[in-house]
Structure 1
Amino acid sequence: MRWSGAYYSWTNKTIWSRIDRALINIHWYEVFDFRQNQYLTNGLSDHSPMLVQFPTSAKQRSRFQFCEMWCKHQDFAKIVTSVVSPISSSPLRQLRSVMANLRSQLSKLNRDNFANLRAQNEKARVDLINLQMKLQNSPGDTTLIQAEKDLKSRYTDILSSCLALMQQQCSDDSTRIFFAKAKQRKLASYIYQIKDAKGDLVQGFDKVGLTMQNFYKALLGEQDTTRQMVDLEVAQQVPILSKEQQVFMCKEFSDIEIKEAIFSIPNFKSPGLDGFNSGFCKVTWHKLGPLVCAAVKEFFTKGTMPSYISETRLIVLPKVPHPQIAAEFISCCNVIYKTISKLLCKRIKEITGLKDSSFPLTYLGVPITASRLTKIEYASLVEKIIARVHLWATRSIYFAGKDKLINSVIFGMFSYWASIFLLVNEVTEKITQICRNYLWRGTGDYKNAPYISWHHTCLPKSQGRIGIKDFAA
């Protein structure tokens, strides 16, 4: 169970140890939305009492968030075109109006075409059948022929969406353990207690939110009345920019630079308060690109950003396993902030000559090198799999659950690496060995020969075997 408070739970005044635990199973995730285990101080006892809390969090209204599947709809381009108008004297204000109109129209598009896929699938099928019955009576009617073509296209799109949904469900086998794991990861992001600026412990979702708000107000939204002026004598003794470098820093950004900055932001990065991410800007760049460029240039020209653009949804991510204070969280910004930051960083990097990083480096969990991966780089994948197996070995998992963990979790990690790199046979054989030992012995360490060869183990269940996915296939 998720815990907070004192680390050691037992002491005899000379030895300190953490021997008390609060354990839960998957049924807890089905019954309780959130629970918190707090270790209190031991007081007069040698054991620390554990306080298990079950606070309830208020259901928040879902916010608008752009989905890439909308781009495939035939009306998406028409909606974007309908809101675009010639650039006015205030591009930032015009961009706000465009985003507001798009938000309402795309929400309606989602309700009419993407909500409740089963009902839409049945309606599209019935409409197509009825139209084809009319076409039987009038085979040469061009209006009916065109209508049938449109209905077929819509029915095909809905079937594609249903297929994508089924693939997502089948990839996790839709078992209770996977739904519980998904809920566990969601609940792990909840922040129920934190220490405020005075060091006092604050509990409750509303109070934690107020503490976070006060922290960022003090960090970003207030003026420092005790700030001292820069000493010119000290400033003259440090390196300063030349006249050419100062002119270069003040040079206006081009549309190409702004486009490169936006297109360098991955599509899955967190969106702003308006719900639009960088993926939306990329898809609609041929229509909204000039307006976005004009809005960014207006910021650099005026030096201020209106509140309706600078407002951002504060998303905090923990930097440590058990954060206690607001400073131990990372805050995320919206797309406009990321674009402006990237433009400024690029200018500064060109002047200072600093490099972002050097090889080898790790990105999205995989090592990036300028040459072929060595055994050392591959070792991180093997170590991650061994760590998962050792974690599962401490739990009572029946045999049928082991093969699902191998096919879903370990094979998913393997497929992610295999989609990027060409894995050598030595690594594949090592992963196979770990999975074989865990399947038959419950641990990743080798003890003795398995009951059945790995080739027969990987045969499908229709042939009387287990159906483990073959890593070497």
Structure 2
Amino acid sequence: MIYCKATTMEVNMLKQRAKLAWLKGGDNCSKIFFQKITARRASQRVYQIQNEDGHLLTEYTVVTGEFVNYFKKLFGGSQRQPQNLDHLQTFARYLISEDEATLISSPVQRQEIKEALFDINEDSAPGPDGFSSGFFKASWAVTGDDVCRAVMEFFNGGRLLKQLNATLITLIPKNAFVRGRSISDNVLLAQELLSGYNQKKLPPRCTIKVDLQKAYDVVNWDYLLAVLRLFKFPNRFILWVEQCITTASFSISLNGNIHGFFSSTRGLRQGDPLSPYLFVLVMESLHLLIKSKTQTDDNFQFHWRCKELGIVNLCFADDLLLFCKADIYSVTVLHGILQEFKGTAGLHANAKKSQILFSKEAVQVQSQIQLILGFPQGTFPVCYLGVPLITSKLSLADCAPLILKIEARIAGWNQLKLTYAGRTQLIKSVLSSIHQYWCSVFILPKGVIKTIEAKLRNFLWKGGSERGGYKVSWEQVCKPTSHGGLGIRNIQMMNNALMGKYLWQVLTKKRDSIWVYWILKYKLKDGTLWAANDKDGSWTWKKLLKLRPHIIKGIQYRVGTGTDFKLWLDPWHPDGTLLHRYPHGPLITGLPMDSPLSTVIIGGTWQWPSEHHIDINGIITNLPDIHNGANDTIIWNSRSGIYSTEHAYTVFSNPSSAVEWAPLFYEKYDSTGRIQTGRWELNGQVKDGGDPIYGMQHTDRC
């Protein structure tokens, strides 16, 4: 018992230091943990740096001194001066209501404090004092009262001791995104707006890709507080935020040692869960500033297909795109906005990393626009939010960064002696997440999918070795565990399921999506998705439309008033779109092509024209029910009635019948696939379908 407890404690300690979030079971081997700890230390050690003057520094004390001086300069140098942004309130889309203000400034409860602390991952890095959340969870009976008193004292008194707000600056990448925000809207809309940049027949346009230099680190505190007042946050909440950002002190963590201790006069702490939300509010104020300057200036020329919706900028975290017609005046207006934002918020563009993209019709003004902004001209494909923006179709070369990233991850694990179960878990939790992001914004070319699957297949069966063959077909491996597979997702089907949600959003008119709003305005207009031309638009849009046969498998039209459905064009009928079955129906019945379904609904009942020369018995005998008094709705054929990627994947995959014992067995005993891979080996390396291999017969019942 004592040995088991000590072993568990050692494993937990090593897991925290190794940062193996994917390792949930199957390979709890100390050797793996030690190898990852060693690799992490080696990759994060700094031996030499180049200073601003270009000199190479190698002496450890000189290197640490350079880091401390750099961050002192970065976080300092800003003078406090109150600011006022009330003039932007007219353009604000959202303001805090009185009820919301009361809620966010209400007294904090002990249960809330406990839930917040217990929600922290035990394997996350501890604070400067060395205590992780796991310590406080384990000792809550002893430390709980003190923790709650300390937290409640801050919320009640509005004061925060500087000793409690000390933080370490670690020289590793930080996450600047807010969980739950959709990144795909920006990519999809940017892709549509850049479509045709390689053609001369369209108006001259330009897109400015702005790289905000050290965005989090240089935010002006007084500007941030003015932003909170702009959006009507209560004074008590603003005081809490001010205490959190102004009492922070910093030290540098370098090669396992701590150096320096200094305060700051500006900036937000990266890694603080509150910082991304505050930064989003700062960038929202930039959006309001842009609206105030462009929508009140009749001389400003909007980008093609942007004027009606007033689209000038797309922003996600610190990635900023600006759009306008390629003319001197409009670009000058945007340049003035960037300069004003720099003076008030402290955020300024990095001229070396920012760039301007021009359409082919903008050749005459390119040099003048570059002179105004001071940015270089960019070329396609351009990287935005981690994926390439293209003007034509997505190629294998465009996807090279994705493939290289997967190869690099696999190469880093080949040296470890992982079992099939360990490699299966790695593919599910790590490697699949790499291409899943790309799958959520692009329909990947078949060649790219085949290349990725080949690399996953090699890693699963061979690991880092060149020897050995494929034990089971990839099709069998990708089946759900309930169907005798390992539950690794089929990339093509997952790609379709992830992209299919955008068609669902268009069908249900998801108005809080700027991309959906743009599609409804410029692509569908007053038409329907099912009649949209798949020959017109960007490569991404045309590929999306080819998913309509998949989507139609999972949707159901629920007829109400009939005013929102098209009689001939929407698949409201169990037999599908009527125009496909009766192509001459509109001409013979006299009911126009774009007639609403309400044309044949009178008094809550079906009323079809019977005097015309068309056999409509097939339609009439299979009509759906009318839900009197209800609006027309589209639902997904699931319990919730709402599209989900998980359910869509099942619908698109159309799996065969499940093995009766498999769901209970895998859920309880073999979540990592260890027993399944062993079973395949015992069966003589069987292939899908039960074919005998090496002259050995087998049965699927064992």
Q: What TM-score do the two structures reach when normalised by structure 2?
A: 0.27
Q: What TM-score do the two structures reach when normalised by structure 1?
A: 0.37
**Greater RCO structure (CA 8 Å; 6+ sep):** 2
